[in-house]
Amino acid sequence: MASPPGTPQQLQLPHGPLSYTLVRSQRRSIGLEVSSAGLTVRAPLRASQVAIERVLHDKARWIADKLLHMHARQAAQTRIVWQPQTQLPYLGGTLHLQLHPAAPRGGEVLAIGPGQWALHLPCSAQAGSSEIRALTWAWWLRQARQLLTERLQHYAPLLGVQWRSLRLSNARTRWGSAHSDGRIMLNAKLLHYRLPVLDYVVAHELAHLHEMNHSPRFWAWVAQVCPEHRQLRAELRQQAAPQW
Ligand SMILES: [Zn+2]
């Protein structure tokens, strides 16, 4: 979804190789887009490889500038430092990690204010960063499965589709995917975002059970349950999730 299904490609340019993802669809012109997923080239179904590469040569400087800018932004992006007081973006608010040797196995979350949660992790105050990270991730995955399952169950009847199974992923750039047989993959890190953003991804993947493409008909399904999908999609692109 956020990174659309496409074919990875590489082109030799005078200053080095350029990797990109080629997505063909029913459109009239060749379009370029640089995101955290890298360079995406959108091309008409019948555009020749030569025509595509000509555009890449012509726009090489623009692409290089954009990629540089994107990499600088990613380098500046937060990397989680795992320590007793770590805070994580969580459902549009903040999750505060707290080490409590007596906390229930698996951890326990408590609402401590609007958009504020404390996650009590069952470990000693001397726990090291890898233990804190592992306990948090185990809790996070359970939380993700529960919440994403609930959202799938909410949206599937609204869209008139049936999903079969949910697999959680931890990919860097891909937020979800859907298989025509009803298997859904969603990124556990969606829980870093506020609920409407997460819901947009859920609706997007379920809509693929109607249309396995990004055609106007596909977007009409998404819009039916998620009228603000454009803004939400932009939000997902603009705010990178922190690196674990
Ligand atoms: Zn999609």
Q: Cα of 11 to ligand 1 centre, how many Å? A: 25
| Residue where a domain terminates, one of 27, 49, 76 | 76
**Residue 46 in domain:** yes
- Asked if residue 182 and residue 93 are part of one domain, the reply reads yes
Q: Cα of 229 to ligand 1 centre, how many Å? A: 12
**The pTM is what?**
0.70
SS3 242: coil
Please name the amino acid found at residue 23: V
| Residue where a domain terminates, one of 33, 56, 76 | 76
- Asked if residue 54 and residue 103 are part of one domain, the reply reads no
Residue range of the domain that includes 45: 7-76
Residue 237: its H or E element: helix 229-238
Q: Cα of 42 to ligand 1 centre, how many Å? A: 14
Beta strands 93-99 and 87-90, pairing class? antiparallel
- Asked if residue 100 and residue 49 are part of one domain, the reply reads no
Q: What is the mean pLDDT of each run of 10 residues along the chain (244 residues)?
A: 70 86 94 89 95 94 85 71 92 94 94 93 94 97 98 98 97 91 97 96 98 96 97 87 88
- Asked if residue 67 and residue 112 are part of one domain, the reply reads no
pLDDT at 121: 97
**Residue 243 in domain:** no
**Residue 94 in domain:** yes
Q: Cα of 214 to ligand 1 centre, how many Å? A: 6
How many C-beta atoms surround the C-beta of residue 130 within 10 A? 9
Q: Cα of 122 to ligand 1 centre, how many Å? A: 38
- Asked if residue 139 and residue 21 are part of one domain, the reply reads no
